[in-house]
Amino acid sequence: MNLWNKLMCYSRRRSPWLFHMNGGSCNGCDIELIASLTPRYDAEQLGVRLEGSPRHADILCITGPITHNAVGAIKVVYDQVFGPKAVVAIGSCPATTNVFIESRTLDGPLNKHIPVDVFVPGCPPRPDAIIQGVAKAAEILAERASKKLPVAPVVMPLVGEGCGGACACGGSGGCATKEVQA
Amino acid sequence: MSYKIPMGPYHPALEEPYKLDLICTGETVTDAKLHIGFNFRGIEHLAETRNYIQVIALMERVCGICSNIHTLTLCQAMEGLTALTPPPRAQYIRVVMAELERLHSHVLWAGIAAKLMGFKTMFMTCFELREKVMDILQAISGNRVNYSMNRVGGVNRDIDDPQAVLKMIDALEAEMLRTVIPIFTTSSTARSRCAGIGVLTHAKAISCGVVGPVARASGVGQDIRKAAPYAAYGEMEFDVPVQPDGDVKARLLVRALEIMESCKILRQALSKLPPGELFVGDGKFDFTKMVTTTSTSRVEAPRGEVMYSVSWKEGSRNPARVHVRTPTFAVMPAIRWMVLGARLADTPLIQASIDPCYSCTDR
């Protein structure tokens, strides 16, 4: 890897810009995503910025159980994001369709339509969990920028059950810590 | 010559997916069409396939901002079916949760309105303040969004130490009085951006049948908490702020004043919290014996009136029908009258001034 590639990887990891899409969400995860960008949680210190256009974004954050009406838009927006790109599914809805399972107006889960890199579970996930998921996606982004290899989807531990990456397990959920992350 | 500007469904100025087609002549909006349905999850149909207890968890996910109000209204409607009366302590805890939710919803709206005015600092200040409300909610319920406080016949969790919560509310009110309220009520920046735009006249407000803060900002002084008191609102003393102007500034003022009224109600409810049980019965309800076939409940949510109607089906564990009427559904048609004649640049602020929640409306 030459110096230019190294610089690109560093930059991608240090300034992941987000595009947020609501795929039929109840607003819970959307509000927590906004809360994670505001002073208390301050995701902006990781270089994260919420961007208005998918063409400026690196990471696509999708919430909600994916309604029929949203599928087309999600595919279009996914294609509009320039590579390398990463997709974060925020909340239990895009992963499993959650309580709305068996609804006839849903076309979920999300990985039926586009490849998902990070699943952040929770209904809704806490802002710390969202930041952790976005940080993981930024790592994946840098990895993609360097090797251009496909990366298997990551399921983040449920904050409140796992350690949330605080101990030696590195957030893989392998530890038995049951402490709630403050 | 007029031209059409489609806004949305995925637009940076919109928090949720919906589509606003604006017909413009020059810079002036001459007509507007609103398309919704991007959030349609079929919850009302799903409710017919779930049993009465599961419906509570399902309805909590109708809206992530006013989740408590939806379960409160549903539980009240189900209590009407089974003729249960929650104990006084549960009624008071319900009031506390509803008012805390109103606080966080109004502060959230103030933040989004500030962002749409181009006042990014205020947006951050509002969200920092909202975290203080979320702290109280988390201290009481353990959750930040879906509190799952309500059950049929009472509440699930107790407020162990009302004095500690009172202290948090004092700190919150002081902060509100110091930053948010003065800026929104006296700052010339905020006033010049929202005075006189998006006017909804008193007559139009009545003919559109708007509810909640939008109605109160147009001089229609209706509030379910006063008109048909539920939970423990009958024992609370509070005012209903009404503004006659009907513009965005009036809506801002009404919500700012409601924040102060909410603090007042919270202080009364927490200091008078009666002792006793949290719910009636042993937590097991016989849903085979209903006293009526259909029960309706109305509640004043942060955005206006929410109505739930639950119908009982004989010999079934599931309700026959759960009908929901949300405040945004009533306020939505008024957007057209607000944006007529407005400048195009003002439309994001005007449509946000009703505090829309399309995930409630679409369900």
B28 in a structural domain: no
pLDDT computed for residue A122 by the predictor: 83
Give the residue ranges of DSSP H helices in chain B: 43-47, 52-60, 67-82, 88-117, 120-141, 162-175, 181-186, 188-194, 202-208, 212-217, 224-227, 248-271, 327-331, 334-339, 347-352, 358-362
Residue A161: is its pLDDT beyond 50? no
Q: What angle do CA B33, B38, B43 make, to 5 degrees?
A: 125
Chain A partners of B110 at a C-beta cutoff of 8 Å?
none
User: In terms of CA atoms, which chain A residue is nearest residue B9?
Assistant: A73
CATH number for B127: 1.10.645.10
Q: What is the pTM of this model?
A: 0.85
Residue B18 DSSP SS3:
coil
B206 in a structural domain: yes
Distance CA B14, CA B362 (A): 16
Residue B331: is its pLDDT beyond 50? yes
pLDDT in tens, A3-16: 887 887 787 778 88
CB–CB of B46/B58 below 8 Å? Answer: yes
Q: Test B64 with A102 for CB contact under 8 angstroms.
A: no
Q: Test B128 with A38 for CB contact under 8 angstroms.
A: yes
pLDDT computed for residue A50 by the predictor: 83
Q: How confident is the model at residue A148 (pLDDT cuts 50, 70, 90)?
A: low
Minimal Cβ distance to B124: which of A29, A38, A64? A38
* Lowest mean pLDDT across A102-111, B285-294, B349-358: B285-294
Q: How confident is the model at residue A150 (pLDDT cuts 50, 70, 90)?
A: low
Averaged over A155-166, what is the pLDDT?
A: 52
pLDDT in tens, B123-136: 888 888 888 888 88
Minimal Cβ distance to B38: which of A34, A70, A102? A70
Give the number of domains in chain B. 1
Distance CA B103, CA B133 (A): 7
Residue A153: is its pLDDT beyond 70? no
Other C-beta atoms lying within 10 Å of the C-beta of residue A168? 8
Averaged over A136-144, what is the pLDDT?
A: 83
Averaged over A107-126, what is the pLDDT?
A: 86
Task: Give the range of the structural domain holding residue B55, as residue numbers without chain letter.
Answer: 43-337
pLDDT computed for residue B73 by the predictor: 92
Residue B21 DSSP SS3:
strand
Q: How confident is the model at residue B304 (pLDDT cuts 50, 70, 90)?
A: confident
pLDDT in tens, A90-99: 988 888 888 8
CATH number of A3-155: 3.40.50.12280
Chain A partners of B128 at a C-beta cutoff of 8 Å?
38-40
Residues in CB range of B192: below 8 A, 6 or more apart: none
B146 φ, ψ (degrees, to nearest 5): -95, 100
B361 in a structural domain: no
B154 in a structural domain: yes
Mutate to test the interface with B, among A27, A36, A51 (most CBs of B within 10 A): A27
Residue B331 DSSP SS3:
helix
Q: How confident is the model at residue A147 (pLDDT cuts 50, 70, 90)?
A: low
B227 in a structural domain: yes
Averaged over B268-273, what is the pLDDT?
A: 88
Q: Which residue's entry shows tokens 């937590």?
A: B283
Q: What is the mean pLDDT of chain B?
A: 85
CB–CB of A39/B124 below 8 Å? Answer: yes
Q: Test B39 with A64 for CB contact under 8 angstroms.
A: yes
Beta bridge partners of B7: B20
The residues spanned by each domain of chain A are 3-155
B5 in a structural domain: no
pLDDT computed for residue A182 by the predictor: 34
How large a percentage of chain A has pLDDT more than 70? 80
Chain A closest CA to B128's CA: distance in Å?
6
Q: What angle do CA B296, B53, B359 make, to 5 degrees?
A: 65
CB–CB of A139/A147 below 8 Å? Answer: no
Averaged over A91-110, what is the pLDDT?
A: 85
The alpha carbon torsion through B253, B254, B257, B259 (nearest 10 deg) reads -110
B359 in a structural domain: no
Residue A175: is its pLDDT beyond 80? no
Q: Test B64 with A38 for CB contact under 8 angstroms.
A: no
pLDDT in tens, B127-170: 888 888 888 888 888 888 888 888 888 888 888 888 888 888 88
Q: B42 — alpha (psi -120 to 50), left (phi > 0) or beta?
A: left
